[in-house]
């Protein structure tokens, strides 16, 4: 499908592919030349599609994956710094993706085909499961460039990996490969690339047998909306602080300039 997906009119149809496979919606980030960096329109589209397919009436679940060698490089930094810097607005667009996933009546699974950086990795943490190809992994470089995390990652990362490990991952910015991520509890399994999306679809089928009460259990087992919104509010306060201090603007300038020398 392109341009239209049911009742959803996509703002960036060329950058977000939608297919339905075995009664599961597969949403593919399709901007490989930019490592699937998430533009504002892509984030809006992704949230809209998660709400559309997550209503429990169209499909049994949703898979989000990437095309090319990356899952996603995270926020499109050049777009974010084009004109007046408003990191709160950028964070809000990320948070809406997680809100849509957490409100879904069906399971939402990340099929992490390559590296998931920054906000892209953070939104994947809010999904119900994460499968990785051997080339998959996470990296949260925000601390080193004066930014802060989003998508209630300050809640989800300690919940999945433990408080001390979460602290180290966020402050050091260390890259976590697929097998390390599985050992830490960030990935549920590592599968071969050709089997990645089928494995995610199969997991959704296993979780949604006919006549099941999956939607009720998702509501019970996901963090409460209050917990999520409280974490997002703390993260919003933090991003406003680093923007007001000038740390974020300087860090983004360094990141866009690339390695020195």
Q: Report how far residue 213's alpha carbon sits from residue 116's, in angstroms, rounded to the nearest whole number.
A: 31
Query: Where does residue 26 fall: left (phi above 0), alpha (psi -120 to 50 degrees), or beta otherwise?
Result: beta
Q: Report how far residue 92's alpha carbon sits from residue 95's, in angstroms, rounded to the nearest whole number.
A: 5
Instruction: Give, in order, the Cα–Cα distances in Å from 236 to each of 42, 89, 100, 239.
Output: 21, 10, 18, 5
Q: Any catalytic annotation for residue 227?
A: no
User: How many other β-carbons are positioned within 10 Å of the β-carbon of residue 29?
Assistant: 26
For the CA atoms of the chain, what is the radius of gyration? 17
Both structure tokens of 15: 């950058």
Select from 85, 111, 121 the least CA-distant residue to 248.
85
Of 15, 90, 96, 142, the active-site residue reads: 142
Q: Which residues are catalytic?
A: 142
């Amino acid at each position: 499908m392109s341009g239209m997906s049911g009742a959803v009119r996509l703002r960036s149809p060329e950058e977000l592919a939608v297919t339905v496979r075995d009664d599961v919606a597969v949403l593919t980030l399709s901007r490989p030349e930019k490592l699937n960096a998430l533009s504002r329109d892509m984030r809006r589209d992704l949230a809209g599609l998660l709400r559309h397919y997550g209503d429990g009436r169209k499909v049994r679940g949703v898979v989000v994956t990437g095309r090319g060698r990356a899952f996603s490089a995270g926020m499109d930094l050049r777009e974010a710094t084009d004109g007046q810097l408003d990191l709160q607005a950028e964070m809000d667009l990320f948070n809406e993706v997680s809100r849509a996933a957490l409100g879904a009546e069906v399971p939402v699974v990340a099929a992490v085909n390559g590296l998931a950086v920054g906000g892209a990795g953070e939104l994947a943490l809010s999904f119900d499961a994460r499968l990785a190809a051997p080339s998959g992994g996470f990296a949260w470089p925000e601390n080193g460039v004066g930014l802060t995390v989003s998508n209630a990652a300050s809640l989800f990362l300690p919940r999945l990996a433990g408080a001390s490990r979460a602290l180290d991952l966020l402050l050091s910015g260390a890259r976590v490969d697929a097998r390390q991520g599985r050992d830490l509890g960030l990935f549920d399994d590592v599968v071969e690339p050709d089997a990645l999306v089928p494995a995610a679809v199969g997991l959704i089928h296993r979780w949604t047998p006919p006549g099941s009460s999956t939607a009720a259990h998702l509501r019970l087992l996901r963090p409460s909306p209050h917990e999520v919104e409280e974490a997002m509010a703390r993260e919003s306060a933090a991003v406003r602080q680093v923007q007001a201090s000038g740390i974020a603007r300087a860090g983004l300038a360094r990141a866009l300039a690339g390695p020195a020398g």
